[in-house]
Structure 1
Amino acid sequence: MAGTGPAGELASTVLENLQYQHDWTELKIHTHFTDQSPLPRPLISGLPPRRLYLHPDDQIELLKTHRNLDEAIPETPEVEWVLPTHLAEKWTLRSFARVFDSMQPQTPPSTDHPKRLVLATVHADSTIVYYLMHDGIVKPRQN
């Protein structure tokens, strides 16, 4: 399924966790760019069961259009990118920037790479913790 070596095994572990414990669908491990050159590390793309993140600007617009508190706000999921890592790994801003630069645009007409990913950190006891990570600064959400 994934490339060989520790990074490939890590990606397979995280993919199985997302699929069987968190009900993600359309999961795929990416090991190469579209031109077949290798990625700096395997990445996972997939569809979570509900939307994981709402940009603050989008949140403001939704709040304006959904004034009725009894009405459910739509949680249409978006394709997310996941970076499998191990707790013992040492990461720098430069290494995270390389990963963000290697990510493919989510929509075909777009040439911009995604600005967010899910960082999946695996502990030696196989516990996986997920964090949302942004490329750059994002203003805080409205409460």
Structure 2
Amino acid sequence: MASLDHIEALTKVVLNNLEYQHDWTRIHQHTQDTLPRSLIYGLPPKRLYVHPDEQIDIIKAEKELGERIPQEPEVEWVLPLHLSEKWSPAQFAAVFDAIEAIPPGGADLEPTEEDGSEEEWRLWRGSKRGKRILLATVQDDSTVTYYWIFDGLVKPRQN
């Protein structure tokens, strides 16, 4: 198990990487008793993930409207880990069990009724959003590599 100082150092590396290399805003460290370690959440400069079923709903809506639907960024969870750490599925499950699908501060970016939230594609940003975490893997030279992890199975994206 990593020491508390080691985890804090990893978190700081990832916080700096998100803010200064990837232009994230509204970045916060999230700690709670039920989490095995602190998470980070924040707002990336552009949308990072579109669920495959949402992608289909957006394409249908764009055809009906005859115009492109802009994809605004969403607040995302980030889990900092070191490359040498060995995490079990149970540890990842504990993290997913301890969080909500939408991080704190993310609900104020979700569509409202005034935005026309009755449209099917908009529900993916709220009630249909599944739990996902951006895994920030830090290497010894402070390089950070990001991978998506999901709670449960997610079908592959359509390219």
Normalised to the residue count of structure 2, the TM-score between the two structures is: 0.75
Q: % of aligned pairs identical?
A: 53
Secondary structure at the residue paired with 1:45? strand
Long gaps (5+) in structure 2: 109-125
1:19 aligns with: 19
Asked whether the equivalents of residues 135 and 147 of structure 2 are also in contact (C-alpha less than 8 Å), the reply is yes
1:21-78 deviation line (CA, Å, top 9, x unaligned): 000000000122xxxx36310100000001110011110011112239x954412011
Tell me which amino acid in the other structure corresponds to 2:47.
Answer: R
How has the CA–CA distance of structure 1 residues 105 and 62 changed in structure 2, closer, same or farther, with 3 Å as cutoff?
closer
Q: How many residues align?
A: 134
Shift of 1:140: 1.5
1:96 aligns with: 92
Asked whether the equivalents of residues 55 and 141 of structure 1 are also in contact (C-alpha less than 8 Å), the reply is yes
Q: Which has the higher helix share?
A: 2
Q: Which has the higher strand share?
A: 1
Q: Take 2:60 and 2:15, find their aligned partners in 1: how far apart are those partners?
A: 37
Secondary structure at the residue paired with 1:62? helix
**Aligned counterpart in structure 1 of residue 70 of structure 2, from 69, 74, 77:** 74
- For the aligned residues, what is the CA RMSD? 2.6
Q: Which of 1 and 2 has higher RCO (CA within 8 Å, sep 6+)?
A: 2
Secondary structure at the residue paired with 2:74? coil
